[in-house]
A and B are shown apart, each in its own frame.
Chain A
Amino acid sequence: DAGVTQSPTHLIKTRGQQVTLRCSPKSGHDTVSWYQQALGQGPQFIFQYYEEEERQRGNFPDRFSGHQFPNYSSELNVNALLLGDSALYLCASSLRLAGVHSYEQYFGPGTRLTVT
């Protein structure tokens, strides 16, 4: 049973560039959430995708956008990169069942983004 996978593992970009990170959810999961974890901090929620739509968004600017595909995989796009965007980007998947609230989110290994 495959867990959550993310690619690439590491990425180095220059300020002002654009980046795309990818995530495949755990088998059987239909919901993908993205988090940003700065060094020494807890993860911060960016947004959540379900049924190919953004369902909820954290306090992140529009430079952060995403997409979910019919196979439930997801992409996180960040435009106009800033030095402060350097962080570990974590993807988490979960299962949304009608009438049943909240299932635990399973995290991938993350993508380490460095902006220079």
Chain B
Amino acid sequence: AQKVTQAQTEISVVEKEDVTLDCVYETRDTTYYLFWYKQPPSGELVFLIRRNSFDEQNEISGRYSWNFQKSTSSFNFTITASQVVDSAVYFCALSEAQGSGGGADGLTFGKGTHLIIQP
């Protein structure tokens, strides 16, 4: 069975600090997909990134960066120079491929990390 663990329930930092959100996953599949979503107080989940299991290249998008390490089953998310607008709950999620027909399984989410950026 697949599982996603976000051990950090809540993180509070002062604006402009760097912050890393941890994500550890478990899966028996060799092909799987990892995601990060942001959920602001409005409640709507906002897609941030998708990473395929066969692509361990790290990615940077502006102030956001992601570190994928298969050896430790981790997919951590770093925000550089945090801003108050980054305050939200962040979810890491995992899905497995549904065979050769395309598509993927439903997402398995972690419990989320509540990130508070203080001005």
Interfacial residues, chain A to chain B (CB-CB below 8 A): 31, 33, 35, 41-48, 50, 55-56, 58, 88, 90, 92, 94, 96-110, 112
Contacts and interface: CB of A to CB of B under 8 A. Distances in A.
B65 to A, nearest CB: 18
Interface of B: 4, 31, 33, 35, 37, 42-47, 50, 52, 91, 93, 95, 97-98, 100-112
Give the dominant DSSP class at A's interface. strand
Contacts, number: 84
B97 A101 contact: yes
A28 to B, nearest CB: 15
Contacts of B110: 42
Contacts of A43: 45, 91, 107, 109
A48 B106 contact: yes
A45 B47 contact: no
A4 B4 CA distance: 25
B106 A33 contact: yes
Given A43-B91, A101-B31, A56 B47 contact: no
Contact of A109 (B43, B95, B103): B43
